[in-house]
Amino acid sequence: MIAVIDYGMGNICSLGHALQRLGVEWQLTADPTVITTASHVILPGVGNAAEAMENLKKLQLPELITTLRRPVLGICVGMQVMCRHSEEGDVDCIGIFDAKVKRFIQQPGVKVPNMGWSRLANMDGKLFKGIDKGSYAYFVHSYYAPLCPDTIATSRHPEMFSAALKYENFYGTQFHPEKSGDVGESIIKNFINL
């Protein structure tokens, strides 16, 4: 059973539907027992990193998340709060990934938020098994994790940033696999098969 962490950060509707389409059992929960016994854990997130951290803290989840030994996947802001710090609200985060999340700098020709389909490059490891080089994923974000030792995929806007991160059993994607068509579906499948 997959636990999708319920911490009041945006609509998890599309993630739920994506899991449903893959025919896997999942539950939306903030219950520590359910989260620790789940086979896989997903930390979704749409919105603001500072608010996300505050909500996680209220539920006493940041520490619990660091103790998980099953595969964990943070998506978008879910990935960002698994980093060390975020510029969004200048907040200290869970600190699993060795990165400090920054805001894209607005400049001519560079739209913020970065919204749309961008190419994935430098994909590494099981999460990207079977994904063709140069495949596109769907991104919606104004903040990003720079390249770091935990980077397992990159994208550009226009500078290179971390499209995905991995540290031990923890994974994060800046893009939304649940909205990234067949490529996204394969990535979720790969995560479930970890």
Q: How many CA atoms lie within 13 A of 62 on its CB side?
A: 18
Catalytic residue among 76, 88, 141, 157: 76
Binding-site member from 2, 3, 4, 18 for other proteins (CB under 8 A): 18
Nearer to other proteins, 12 or 72 (CB): 12
CB atoms within 10 A of CB 13: 9
Backbone angles phi, psi at 41, to 5 degrees: -125, 135
**Token pair belonging to 108:** 């001519």
Nearer to other proteins, 49 or 68 (CB): 49
Among 169, 171, 183, smallest CA distance to 131 is for 183
- DSSP H/E element including 146: none
Helix/strand/coil for 118: strand
Residue window 124-163: x/- pattern of binding to other proteins, with contact defined by CB under 8 A = --------x---x-xxx---------------xxx-----
Q: Name the minimum Å distance from CB 61 to other proteins.
A: 22
Catalytic-residue membership of 176: yes
Residue window 72-111: x/- pattern of binding to other proteins, with contact defined by CB under 8 A = ----------------------------------x-x-xx
CB atoms within 10 A of CB 113: 12
CB atoms within 10 A of CB 90: 9
Nearer to other proteins, 78 or 184 (CB): 184
- State the residues that interact with other proteins by CB under 8 A: 10-11, 13-14, 17-18, 20-21, 46-47, 106, 108, 110-119, 132, 136, 138-140, 156-158, 178-182, 184-185
Provide the annotated active-site residues: 76, 176, 178
